[in-house]
Structure 1
Amino acid sequence: MKALISVDMEGISGIVHSSETNPERYDYQRGRELMTAEANAVIAGVLDAEPTAEVLVADAHGTFRNLLPERLDRRARLVRGKPRALNMLAGLDGETDAALFVGYHVRAGEGPGVLAHTMNGEILDVRVTTRPPGDDVRGTGRAAGEAVRATVRSLGEIGLNAAMAGHHGVPVVLLSGDDAACAEASDLLPGTVTVPVKEALGMAAAVTLHPEEARDRLRRAAADAVTRRTEIPPLTLTGPLEVEVDLASPHTIDLAVLVPGITRARGARTVAFTAPDYGTAYRLVLLLAQLATIRPA
């Protein structure tokens, strides 16, 4: 059995402010320690249920160099640094049996949620439209005039990464974060075990569990989630996919339309593209997030 644990930082118990998640701020070291301890709790839970499991841990916050390697459970292997294929899911492949998301946060524009954002704060929304095979009534067996309904999903990091795991046939069996992140996961990923480690009061405030209590809950939940992995379906978005991305900066729009296949859409903040499959869509969204870091000369 192979498990990938993707660990973000904003949804860790005790963390409520960017000073605890930003390497340039005074409280970051404490944030790293809390993050590493929660990763260890989930590693322990996986191995409680599956003692011979192969466990990879993907550092999935910011620089991807936050987890303390010397303090990580030695039974797991750590994936750190960037850029890298699959971004927050580095290490995922077709041999992976389960993905576990630790310390995740709600998407931009939702909440109240602690440090809510999507990718890097420059992406305001990602909308993915899927359609059933055939977009009219011909050959569908439907009554004349009955429409085939498209499904539009607004995705943040939870949904974007869960769908990428699903693209590889891998279910997300566990997610931890604040109550808003857990609610987002429950709505999008039926069956996924959620562990709310704090109750969001706003962007930078929460009622939080004691870190040791959070770790105890995470360890038990991880063991349970891995045991039930075959009962939890992966999130599968079948192509072709229509994607719209709202971006904070008009400069990013100007850069984005230089990419073949990406066009301006409605308003001043939106670009659109069609992807043949979700893997392609995911990589293009990652590219847009990277373009958003470029500032005018």
Structure 2
Amino acid sequence: MKVLISVDLEGISGIVHPAETNPDRYDYERGRALMTAEANAVIAGVLDAEPDAVVWVADAHGTFRNILPEDLDRRAYLVRGKPRPLGMLAGLDEHTDAVLLVGYHARAGAGPAVLAHTISDAILDVRVAGRSLGEIGLNVAMAGHLDAPVVLLSGDDTACTEFSELVPSAITVAVKQTLGQAAAVALHPQEARERLRHAAAEAIARRASVSPTKLAGPLDVEVDLYGPYMVDLATLVPGVTRVGGGRTVAFHAVDFAEAYRLVQLLVQLASIKPS
């Protein structure tokens, strides 16, 4: 069987501040070490349950170059770097039997939630068929489009609740209880890793009880962008139109895969600054 583990950084135990997630800040090296260790715990849990599983790990934070390759469990394949197909779910395909989301955070506007946002600070909200989706929802639905169930999520308690509303039969591991955007009560990293290893093994063992989450197309998608100039750039993309004032664009997608790819493109366009 093939398993994909997508690992973000904001939802790792002990992480509460942007300085711990930004390569240009002083505390980043500690953050990436904690991220790598939690990835290893989940790899170990997957292989406890299925020793012959093929495990792929997608580095899914920021630059997609955070996990320390030399410290990652040698039994796993690491997908790193960008741009790349499927972004945070790079490595996902029709042969993937289960997906685990590790270190994830709540969507923009959720709160209290540690470091809540949706993909980047340029995105205020993404609505698919009228439903607001953050990174959790977008990735759950993208996995579902390829018939892969998402069987586990770890992060703060708000992220776990957001995930459970989408996939109630899956397992969650709350590694910290949120106090605000940059504050939480966190488990000791070793305790978090022990819980993650146990939960990952359980999630893989009972994966057949979790159904893929599907959003059938065609789909209407709206994206709220932070700056009006971002909307100006977005509307250069065929099929993307301005709606509802100065910060919202909309498009139609034939299926969720098309919606997912176009949202990724809009995020990249939004990073371009006016000359």
**Counterpart residue number, 2:84:** 84
- The one-letter amino acid paired with 2:121 is G
How far apart are residue 158 of structure 1 and its match?
A: 0.2
* Whole-Å separation in 1 of the counterparts to 2:156 and 2:82: 26
How far apart are residue 260 of structure 1 and its match?
A: 0.5
* Whole-Å separation in 1 of the counterparts to 2:226 and 2:13: 29
TM-score by length of 2: 0.99
**Counterpart residue number, 1:252:** 230
**Counterpart residue number, 1:177:** 155
Among candidates 243, 253, 258, match of residue 275 of structure 1: 253
Kindly indicate whether residue 214 of structure 2 is the aligned counterpart of residue 214 of structure 1.
no
Among candidates 196, 213, 216, match of residue 174 of structure 2: 196
TM-score by length of 1: 0.92
- The one-letter amino acid paired with 2:256 is Y
Q: Identity of counterpart residues, as a percentage?
A: 71
Give deviations 1:112-140, integer Å, cap 9, x for gaps. Answer: 110000001111101111xxxxxxxxxxx
3-state DSSP of counterpart to 2:96: coil
Gap regions ≥5 residues in structure 2: none
How far apart are residue 267 of structure 1 and its match?
A: 1.8
- The one-letter amino acid paired with 1:275 is A
- The one-letter amino acid paired with 1:118 is T
**Counterpart residue number, 2:125:** 125
Q: Which has the larger radius of gyration?
A: 1
How far apart are residue 163 of structure 1 and its match?
A: 0.5
3-state DSSP of counterpart to 1:32: helix
Residues 42-53 of structure 1: pairs in structure 2 closer than 5 A: 42-53=42-53
* Whole-Å separation in 2 of the counterparts to 1:265 and 1:167: 27
Give deviations 1:177-222, integer Å, cap 9, x for gaps. Answer: 0000000000111211000000010010000000000000000000
3-state DSSP of counterpart to 1:33: helix
CA RMSD of aligned residues (A): 0.5
**Counterpart residue number, 1:168:** 146
**Counterpart residue number, 1:134:** none
* Whole-Å separation in 2 of the counterparts to 1:96 and 1:175: 17
Kindly indicate whether residue 64 of structure 2 is the aligned counterpart of residue 59 of structure 1.
no
* Whole-Å separation in 1 of the counterparts to 2:165 and 2:209: 17
3-state DSSP of counterpart to 1:182: helix
How far apart are residue 249 of structure 1 and its match?
A: 0.8
Count of aligned pairs: 275
**Counterpart residue number, 1:10:** 10
How far apart are residue 272 of structure 1 and its match?
A: 0.4
**Counterpart residue number, 2:137:** 159
* Whole-Å separation in 1 of the counterparts to 2:18 and 2:170: 28
* Whole-Å separation in 2 of the counterparts to 1:235 and 1:153: 14
- The one-letter amino acid paired with 1:68 is L
* Whole-Å separation in 1 of the counterparts to 2:87 and 2:170: 22
How far apart are residue 268 of structure 1 and its match?
A: 1.3
Gap regions ≥5 residues in structure 1: 130-151
* Whole-Å separation in 2 of the counterparts to 1:223 and 1:170: 17
Kindly indicate whether residue 186 of structure 2 is the aligned counterpart of residue 186 of structure 1.
no
Stretches of 4+ aligned residues off by more than 2 angstroms: none
How far apart are residue 111 of structure 1 and its match?
A: 1.3
- The one-letter amino acid paired with 1:281 is A
- The one-letter amino acid paired with 1:37 is A
**Counterpart residue number, 2:26:** 26
* Whole-Å separation in 1 of the counterparts to 2:136 and 2:60: 12
* Whole-Å separation in 1 of the counterparts to 2:139 and 2:267: 14
